[in-house]
Amino acid sequence: MPELEAARNELGPGGPEFLAIALDDEGDPERLRHIAEAFGYRGGIAVYKDEDGILAPLGVREVPGLAFVNREGVVVSAASGVHGSKFIVKHARALR
């Protein structure tokens, strides 16, 4: 999650929005917010309770995963595993 914040800072105002999707069956928003903040993430968080239903169609095979969605709502690329801010910035810039 620190990578997302580093990417957000590099891309600056008007850059992409980030949304963390928690695959957590408890789904306590306050608990998830504290966990995210502990990892340095300050963006939005959504909870999705069916892991198999959201990640597989995106081609994400492990958590964490990234999906890059353009302004029209189309997933243009996705990646599995941990990636640094340079990777995130490169793919986010390609969305423009």
Tally of domains within the chain = 1
Strands 65-69 vs 75-80: parallel, antiparallel or unpaired: antiparallel
> CA-to-CA distance for 75 and 4, rounded, in angstroms?
18
Structural domain boundaries enclosing 9 = 2-93
Q: What is the pLDDT of residue 87?
A: 92
User: How many other C-beta atoms are found inside a 10 Å radius of the C-beta of residue 19?
Assistant: 12
- Residue 2 predicted with pLDDT over 90: no
- Token pair in block for residue 83: 């990636």
Q: What is the pLDDT of residue 52?
A: 58
Q: What is the pLDDT of residue 29?
A: 76
List the one residue out of 71, 82, 54, 81 whose CA is nearest residue 16. 71
Q: Collapsing DSSP states into helix, strand and coil, what is residue 45?
A: strand
Q: For residue range 70-96, what is the model confidence (pLDDT) as tens digits?
A: 888 888 888 888 889 999 999 888 887
Element (H, E) at 75: strand 75-80
CA end-to-end span of the chain, whole Å? 22
Q: For residue range 21-76, what is the model confidence (pLDDT) as tens digits?
A: 777 656 677 888 888 888 888 888 877 776 556 677 777 777 778 888 888 888 88
